[in-house]
Amino acid sequence: MKKYILLLITLFSLSACQDFLDETPKGTLIPKTVNDFGMILDNYSYDNYIAYGQSLTMIMSDDFTIPDGKAYKFASWGINAYSWADHLFSVSDDEDCYTNFYHVIYLCNYILNNLDDASDGTEFTRSYVEGAARFHRAFAYFNLVNLYAKHYDKNTAATDLGVPLMLEADPNLTTGRATVQQIYDQIFTDLNKAKDLLTEEKPKYPFRPGQTAVYALLARIYLYQGDYKLCMEAARTAREQWSKPYDYNEYELEDVNPDFGIKGYPSNRWEEADIICYKGEGYGPNEEGDYNLSEDLISLFDKETDLRWKLFITSYPFFSGDDPQGDTPRTAFSFPNNRGLNIGELYLTEAEACARENEIDDALYLLNEVARKRHVAGTYQDETERDPDKLLELILDERRRECICKGTRWFDLKRLNKDPRFAKTITHTLYGETYTLTPDDNHYVLPIPLIVISQNPQIEQNPR
Mean pLDDT of all residues in 139-168: 98
| Mean pLDDT (the chain, rounded) | 85
What pLDDT does 215 receive? 98
Asked if residue 32 belongs to a domain, the reply is yes
Confidence check: pLDDT of 397 > 50: yes
Rounded-to-integer distance, Cα 79 and Cα 88, Å: 8
How far apart (Å, rounded) are the C-alpha atoms in residues 111 and 134? 10
The answer to whether residue 89 sits within a structural domain is yes
Backbone angles phi, psi at 457, to 5 degrees: -65, -10
Query: Is residue 382 assigned to a domain?
Result: no
Tell me, yes or no, whether 78 lies in a domain: yes
pTM of the model: 0.90
CATH number at residue 6: 1.25.40.390
- When mean pLDDT is compared across 43-52, 154-163, 265-274, 402-411, the lowest value belongs to 43-52
Alpha-carbon span 209 to 186, nearest angstrom = 18
Domain-embedded: residue 52 = yes
Residue 171, pLDDT score: 81
Under the banding of pLDDT at 50, 70 and 90, the label for residue 284 is low
Per-residue pLDDT at 13: 44
Half-sphere exposure of 292 (CA within 13 A, CB side): 23
Single-letter amino acid code for the residue at 6: L
Of 191-195, 269-273, 372-376, the range with the lowest mean pLDDT is 269-273
Q: Which domain holds residue 53?
A: 1-199+441-464
Position with higher pLDDT, 33 vs 54 = 33
* Rounded Cα gap, residues 74 and 449, in angstroms: 19
Q: What is the C-alpha separation between 33 and 431, in angstroms, rounded?
A: 55
The proportion of the chain whose per-residue pLDDT surpasses 70, expressed as a percent, equals 79
pLDDT at res. 324: 52
**Better-predicted residue by pLDDT, 224 or 278:** 224
Residue 30: per-residue pLDDT = 78
| Per-residue pLDDT at 144 exceeds 60 | yes
Say if residue 447's pLDDT is above 50: yes
Pick from 113, 133, 114: nearest CA to 191: 133
- Which run of H or of E encompasses 253? strand 252-253
Report the amino acid identity of residue 113.
Answer: N
Q: Is the peptide bond before 457 cis (omega within 30 degrees of 0)?
A: no
pLDDT confidence of residue 97: 84
Is residue 295 situated within a structural domain?
no
Cα torsion through 112, 114, 116, 120, rounded to 10: -110
Assess if residue 27 is contained within a domain: yes
Residue 396 to residues 234, 389, 392: CA-CA distances in angstroms?
Answer: 19, 11, 6
Bigger pLDDT: 29 vs 246: 246
Share above pLDDT 90 across residues of the chain, in percent, rounded to a whole number: 62
Number of domains into which the chain is organized = 1
Q: Residue 179 carries which DSSP code?
A: B
> Where does the pLDDT of residue 14 fall: very low under 50, low under 70, confident under 90, or very high at 90 and above?
very low
Whether 414 contacts 151, CB under 8 Å: yes
Angle of helix 360-372 relative to helix 343-356, nearest 10 degrees, comes to 150
Query: pLDDT at residue 47 above 70?
Result: no
The whole-number pLDDT of residue 51 equals: 56
What does the pLDDT read at residue 311? 85
Q: For residue 378, is it within any domain?
A: no
How many CA atoms lie within 13 Å of 165's alpha carbon, on the beta-carbon side? 14
| Per-residue pLDDT, 15 | 40
| Amino acid 50: pLDDT | 53
**pLDDT band at residue 264, thresholds of 50, 70 and 90?**
low
Which has the higher per-residue pLDDT, 319 or 244? 244
* Top-confidence residue, 441 or 331: 441
pLDDT at res. 23: 40
pLDDT average, residue stretch 25-47: 74
119 three-state secondary structure:
strand
CB 99 within 8 A of CB 89: no
Q: What would the mean pLDDT of 45-74 be, rounded to a whole number?
A: 77
Q: What is the mean pLDDT of residues 407-423?
A: 96
Nearest to 399 by CA among 335, 352, 439: 352
Please, which pLDDT band fits residue 291 given cuts at 50, 70 and 90?
A: confident
Cα–Cα distance for residue pair 15/21, rounded to 1 Å: 9
Cα separation, 12 vs 103, whole angstroms: 7
pLDDT(126) > 70? yes
Please give the full DSSP string across 369-434, using - where no structure is assigned: HHHHTTB-TTTPPPP----HHHHHHHHHHHHHHHTTTSS-HHHHHHHHTTSTTT---EEEEETTEE
